[in-house]
Amino acid sequence: MLNFIKQTLIGREPGPTGGGPDEEDRTRIAAGVILLEAAHADHECTEDELNHVIDTLRSDFNLSQKLAEELLELAHRERSQAVDLFEFTNLINNEFSKDEKKMVLEAVWRIIHIDGLIEKHEDHFARKLTHLLRLTHKDMIDAKLKARKKIE
């Protein structure tokens, strides 16, 4: 499945229907990019943070370890080519319910909390993401508290 995504995303081969990856695959990649961005928000991406990103992709999208790692690789590529987060958050806004968007935000806060410190860049990223996902300040605080509780 992800090899097909890789080929169509990179644009080397059209998919069997002539289009790119389907919305579900594109949304998974978008979520992966957002989780990676959270891991890099403090300008230092640790192995613990990357492992948590993979674990989140596995559990939230019901993927095997191998598929989660391939998705992470694709997300790395997309992140390196992106100008901003809008293209990814816009896709998530169009495809995810409010509860699913809250789950993404909670996963972001878990990644931020992994190292035990919340730096100003990480906090700023989470606040910006809240706005881009069209969630409320209360949604952000709830996600932050849930994430902290799960990490402790």
8 lies in a domain?
A: no
Residue type, 72: L
Whether 61 is covered by a domain: the verdict is: yes
> Is residue 11 included in any domain, yes or no?
no
Specify if 7 maps to a domain: no
Q: Is the pLDDT of residue 38 over 90?
A: yes
Q: How high is the pLDDT of residue 11? A: 40
Residues in the chain: 152
Directed axis angle between helix 65-81 and helix 47-61, to 10°? 110
Calculate the alpha carbon distances from 79 to 1, 32, 72, 86, 129 in Å: 20, 9, 10, 12, 15
Does residue 62 form part of some domain?
A: yes
Residue 13 lies in a domain: no
| Beta strand residue intervals within the chain, DSSP E | none
HSE-CB for 116 with a 13 A CA cutoff = 1
Domain count, the chain: 1
> Within a 10 A sphere around the Cβ of 151, how many other Cβ atoms?
15
Average per-residue pLDDT for the chain: 86
The reported pLDDT for the residue numbered 21 is 62
Q: Give domain status of residue 37, yes or no.
A: yes
Better pLDDT: 19 or 39? 39
Q: What CATH code is carried by the domain that includes residue 128?
A: 1.10.3680.10
Instruction: Report yes or no: 146 and 113 within 8 Å, Cβ to Cβ.
Output: no
pLDDT level of residue 53 (50, 70, 90 thresholds): very high
Confidence of residue 20 (pLDDT cuts 50, 70, 90): low
CA distance 32 to 61: 11
Residue 35 inside a domain? The answer is yes
Q: Say if residue 60's pLDDT is above 80.
A: yes
Check whether 106 has a pLDDT greater than 70.
yes
For residue 122, the one-letter residue type is E
Structural domain boundaries, residue 34: 27-151
Residue 37: name the closest of 143, 150, 122 by CA. 122
Look at residue 73 and tell me whether its pLDDT is greater than 60. Answer: yes
Residue 35 pLDDT > 90: yes
